[in-house]
Each structure stands twice: as structure tokens, then as C-alpha cells.
Amino acid sequence: MKYFDDINVGDRIALGTHTFTAEDIKAFARQYDPQPFHMDETAAAQSHFGALCASGWHTIAAWMNLRVQYGKREDAERAARGEVIARLGPSPGFRELKWIKPVYVGDTISYASEVVEKRVTRSRPGWGIIFAKNTGTNQKGELVMSFIGSGFVERRPGAA
Amino acid sequence: MKYFDDINVGDRIALGTHTFTAEDIKAFARQYDPQPFHMDETAAAQSHFGALCASGWHTIAAWMNLRVQYGKREDAERAARGEVIARLGPSPGFRELKWIKPVYVGDTISYASEVVEKRVTRSRPGWGIIFAKNTGTNQKGELVMSFIGSGFVERRPGAA
């Protein structure tokens, strides 16, 4: 992680892709969102979605996984260059989550994250809060989901 | 599901509870949020959380599961009474998700949902949209998370 002070509004990262298989979709749904259109092809065909599709929460869980993996790669690269790794604090939450299009079996979603706001908070000296707009786009170029996430990031020592 | 027209602002339902075990927390984290404080007790003890705790997304996935189970029970009861079951459409998204306190191993979270707004939309005749504030409260009575969810619900035939 970069220090809060080295992160700029407009910074954009490509997080990678996830392809949703039927198995994958059903496994998530069985545990966390057992609705027929996420679990069974026949039921899904008769639903408003028209075919088996992923739980909206699954489309975000896949984002989360890629975001964490990205952070681990970034930290390993910083370590390899001998740079300090800033700490990432907790996330207070997110806003404006939109599920725009269904994610069907075989869809490959490309995830990206763009910094839209940064703010220093009095409540947590030595830390700042970063807001990023996160998006998922399918192989046809259609936006399928977006939300604005947030997280505390450590400030450069002496920056405050 | 009740028809949109039979749902009122202020309607509140208790969805049940989920107790987060270490196994449960790690299994979710391995797949969807592989950060050290969700996967390993020792690493978690050294983190800002101080102990192993659930991914924020896991605390919502548990809500989703209970919400779906509640809907299935409600529909079965309506069917048993010979009542019509209204259709629940897709959710366009969520807003104002707040992770307020960590959820630690052994915590039992009680989930509830309260209708805060209802609205007819021109874009989808025969349907209305319901907004509900969803909350999770731990065994000490502390709010751990909340968000405002939304979903389309079928209108009573002839109500529009």
C-alpha cells in the first residue's frame, strides 16, 4: 500500500478478471444466497433473469478477492524495491452499490478501482480515508456493478 | 412475499441469528477476502482488530442467507393459508453500508429488516420498489452493521 499522501484522486487500477462458472455461482448461492435463479438452471430460465446468474453479493465478493490479491502483489513489489509498505486500516463501509446487469454463467468480469475522494479525519490521527469507485465490466463492455468503497490508509510519518 | 401494496413503512421483521465460528470466518475469507486478520488468529492478534474477525462481506452474506430463508418460510405459510404469493423482483442495489464494529469468533448476530421507504416507479409497471434498513446486532446489543437495501415487489393486480 502507498501512503495516503501518495494516493491521488483519479488514480485508477485494473484489478484483474473473474470468470463465473455454474459451479462457482451455485456454491456461493447455496451458502449465502439460496434463491432458485442462483442455484438451478431450470428455475432460473423461468425467472425474471432468464438464465442462471450470480448472486449480486458474489459479484462483489469476487471483486474483494481480486482487490486483496492486488494489494498483496503491490506490497511484495514495494518490499522488493526496498520501499516502506503503508498500512491499510478498516473500511467503515460503502455507498451507492448498483447492480446494473445480471452476471450469467461464463461471463468474465473485469474489475477496476478509481480514487474519487480522499480526506483526513480528526477521529484517527495519522490516517486518512480514501474513497474509490469500484466497477465490474463484462466481456461485452457492459458495466454490471459499481459501488463506492472506503478505507483508512496510513499517512506518511510527519505528513500531518 | 406480500404484495407491494400491503407492505408499509415501519414494518419490521426479525430474520434470526447467525453465530460466527472460526472455521466459518476462515472459509469465507479464503475464498472471498483473504486478509490475514480474517484467516489467522496470530496475525489477527497483531492487527488493528486485535483478534480473528469476520470479513464485512461475510456479515452481509449471513444476512442475505437469513433473508432468503425468511422469505421461503413466509411464502410457505402464505401457501398453507391459501394466499397468493407476490413475486419479488431483482434488487437494483444498496446504499449506506456501515461496518460499525468487528464481528469476532463466537459472536452471535441478530439480523432485522425495517421498511423505510416505498415507491412506485414508472419504469416497471405492475411493480413497486421497497427500501429497507437492515441491521445486525451482537449479543451485547451493539449494532455491528447496517445498510439500506432495495428490491422490486409485485403490485396487487389492479392496484396501479
- Cell numbers that stand for A147 in this block: 459501488
Share above pLDDT 70 across residues of chain A, in percent, rounded to a whole number: 99
DSSP labels, B32-88: H---HHHH-HHHHHTSTT-S-B--HHHHHHHHHHHHHHHHHHHHHHHHHTT---PPB
pLDDT band at A89 (very low <50, low <70, confident <90, very high): confident
Segment B74-79 long-range contacts (CB within 8 Å, at least 24 positions apart): B74/B1, B75/B1, B78/B1
Mean pLDDT across the stretch A119-129?
90
pLDDT band at B65 (very low <50, low <70, confident <90, very high): very high
Mean pLDDT across the stretch B18-35?
97
Q: Quote the CA–CA distance of A66 and A70 in Å, as a whole number.
A: 6
Residue A92 has its nearest CB partner, among B60, B91, B98, at B98
Domains and CATH numbers, chain B: 4-154 (3.10.129.10)
Is the CB of B49 less than 8 angstroms away from the CB of A90? yes
- Cell numbers that stand for B107 in this block: 459472536
**pLDDT over threshold 80, residue A56:** yes
| Residue of B32, B58, B60, B99 to mutate, testing the A interface (most A Cβ within 10 Å of its Cβ) | B32
- pTM for this predicted structure: 0.91
**What pLDDT was estimated at residue A124?**
87
Is the CB of A32 less than 8 angstroms away from the CB of B65? yes
Is the CB of A65 less than 8 angstroms away from the CB of B91? no
B90: which chain A residues are within 8 Å (Cβ-Cβ)?
A: 48-49, 99, 102
pLDDT band at B160 (very low <50, low <70, confident <90, very high): low
| Residue of B18, B39, B68, B134 to mutate, testing the A interface (most A Cβ within 10 Å of its Cβ) | B68
pLDDT band at B155 (very low <50, low <70, confident <90, very high): very high
Interface ipTM = 0.88
**What pLDDT was estimated at residue B114?**
98
pLDDT band at A43 (very low <50, low <70, confident <90, very high): very high
A123: which chain B residues are within 8 Å (Cβ-Cβ)?
A: none
**What pLDDT was estimated at residue A160?**
64
The answer to whether residue A13 neighbours chain B at the CB level (below 8 Å) is no
Segment B18-21 long-range contacts (CB within 8 Å, at least 24 positions apart): B18/B62, B18/B65, B18/B66, B18/B108, B18/B109, B18/B111, B19/B106, B19/B107, B19/B108, B19/B109, B20/B54, B20/B58, B20/B59, B20/B62, B20/B103, B20/B104, B20/B105, B20/B106, B20/B107, B20/B108, B20/B109, B21/B105, B21/B106
Residue A95 has its nearest CB partner, among B32, B64, B96, at B96
CA A85 remoteness from chain centre: 21
Q: In angstroms, what separates the C-alpha of A38 from chain B's closest C-alpha?
A: 12
| Side-chain half-sphere exposure of B78, counting CA atoms within 13 A | 14
**pLDDT over threshold 70, residue B11:** yes
Is the CB of A34 less than 8 angstroms away from the CB of B93? no
The answer to whether residue A139 neighbours chain B at the CB level (below 8 Å) is no
**What pLDDT was estimated at residue A128?**
95
Q: In angstroms, what separates the C-alpha of A72 from chain B's closest C-alpha?
A: 9
**What pLDDT was estimated at residue A159?**
81
B57: which chain A residues are within 8 Å (Cβ-Cβ)?
A: 57, 60-61, 64
| Residue of B95, B123, B148 to mutate, testing the A interface (most A Cβ within 10 Å of its Cβ) | B95
The answer to whether residue A159 neighbours chain B at the CB level (below 8 Å) is no
CA B4 vs CA B74, B79, B152: distances in Å? 15, 17, 8
pLDDT band at B82 (very low <50, low <70, confident <90, very high): very high
